[in-house]
Structure 1
Amino acid sequence: MARFIRKLLPRRWRPDYLEIPVVRLQGVIMSGGGPFRQNLSLASTAAVLEKAFAEKDAPAVAISVNSPGGSPVQSRLIYRRIRDLAEEKNKKVYVFVEDVAASGGYMIAVAGDEIIADPSSIVGSIGVVSASFGFTDLIKKIGVERRVHTAGKNKATLDPFRPENKEDVEHLKALQLEIHGTFIDLVKERRGEKLSDNPDLFTGLFWTGTRGVELGLVDGLGDMRSYLRSQYGPKTQLRLISAPRGLFGRKVPSVDIKFDGIGSGFANGLIDAAEERALWSRFGL
Structure 2
Amino acid sequence: MAKQKPNQLNQNTPTPKSRWVTIIITLLILTFFAYLFAGITSLFSYTDEPAFGNVALIKIHGIITTQEDGFSLDDQATSDEIIKLIKKAEENPEVKAILFEINSPGGSAVASKEIADEIARVSTNQNKTTIAVIREIGTSGAYWIASSTDLIIASPLSITGSIGVISSYLEFNKLFDKYGINYRRLVAGKYKDIASPFRNLTEEEQKILQTQLDSVHDYFIKEIAKNRNMSVDDVKKVADGLFYLGEEAQKLGLVDLLGDKETAKELLKESLALEDIKIVEYKKPKGFIDALFESFSKQSFSVGEGIGSSLVNSENKKSLIST
TM range (shorter): 0.7 to 0.9
Aligned positions of 1:81-120 closer than 5 A: 81-120=118-157
| Gaps in structure 1 of 5+ consecutive residues | 8-17, 254-285
Distance 1:72 1:91 in 2: 25
Q: Which residue of 1 aligns with 2:239?
A: 202
The count of aligned residue pairs is 236
Q: Which residue of 1 aligns with 2:302?
A: none
Q: Which residue of 2 aligns with 1:231?
A: 268
1:162-212 per-residue CA deviation (whole Å, 9 max, x = no partner) reads 012111110011111111111111111111249994864111111001101
Distance 1:180 1:207 in 2: 18
Contact 1:82 1:111 in 2 (8 A): yes
Q: Which residue of 1 aligns with 2:212?
A: 175
| Gaps in structure 2 of 5+ consecutive residues | 1-48, 291-323
| Closer, same or farther: CA 196–241 of 1 in aligned 2, 3 Å | same
Deviation at 1:224, TM superposition (A): 0.8
Contact 1:102 1:125 in 2 (8 A): yes
| Closer, same or farther: CA 194–179 of 1 in aligned 2, 3 Å | closer
Question: Is the aligned partner of 1:241 residue 2:241?
Answer: no
**Counterpart amino acid of 1:28?**
I
Aligned partner of 1:128 among 123, 146, 165: 165
**Counterpart amino acid of 1:92?**
T
Q: Which residue of 2 aligns with 1:148?
A: 185
**Counterpart amino acid of 2:247?**
T
1:118-175 per-residue CA deviation (whole Å, 9 max, x = no partner) reads 1111111111111122111111122222123110111111111101211111001111
Distance 1:38 1:238 in 2: 22
| Closer, same or farther: CA 117–195 of 1 in aligned 2, 3 Å | farther
| Closer, same or farther: CA 225–53 of 1 in aligned 2, 3 Å | farther
Q: TM-score, normalised by structure 2?
A: 0.67
Q: TM-score, normalised by structure 1?
A: 0.75
Question: Is the aligned partner of 1:78 residue 2:115?
Answer: yes
Distance 2:130 2:289 in 1: 25
Contact 2:64 2:79 in 1 (8 A): no
Aligned positions of 1:59-74 closer than 5 A: 59-74=96-111
Q: Which protein has the bigger helix share?
A: 2
| Closer, same or farther: CA 207–138 of 1 in aligned 2, 3 Å | same
SS at match of 1:120: coil
Distance 1:172 1:197 in 2: 26
Question: Is the aligned partner of 1:25 residue 2:34?
Answer: no
Identity of aligned residues (%): 29
Distance 2:258 2:264 in 1: 9
1:226-270 per-residue CA deviation (whole Å, 9 max, x = no partner) reads 33124305731211112247xxxx5899xxxxxxxxxxxxxxxxx
Aligned positions of 1:31-42 closer than 5 A: 31-34=66-69, 35-36=71-72, 37-42=74-79
User: Hey, which bits of structure 1, 4+ residues long, moved more than 4 A?
Assistant: 193-199, 250-253
Distance 1:232 1:194 in 2: 31
| Closer, same or farther: CA 196–208 of 1 in aligned 2, 3 Å | farther
Distance 2:80 2:225 in 1: 27
Deviation at 1:86, TM superposition (A): 2.4
CA radius of gyration, larger in? 2
Q: Which residue of 2 aligns with 1:212?
A: 249
Q: Which residue of 2 aligns with 1:276?
A: none
Distance 1:111 1:88 in 2: 13
**Counterpart amino acid of 2:134?**
V
Distance 2:233 2:214 in 1: 22
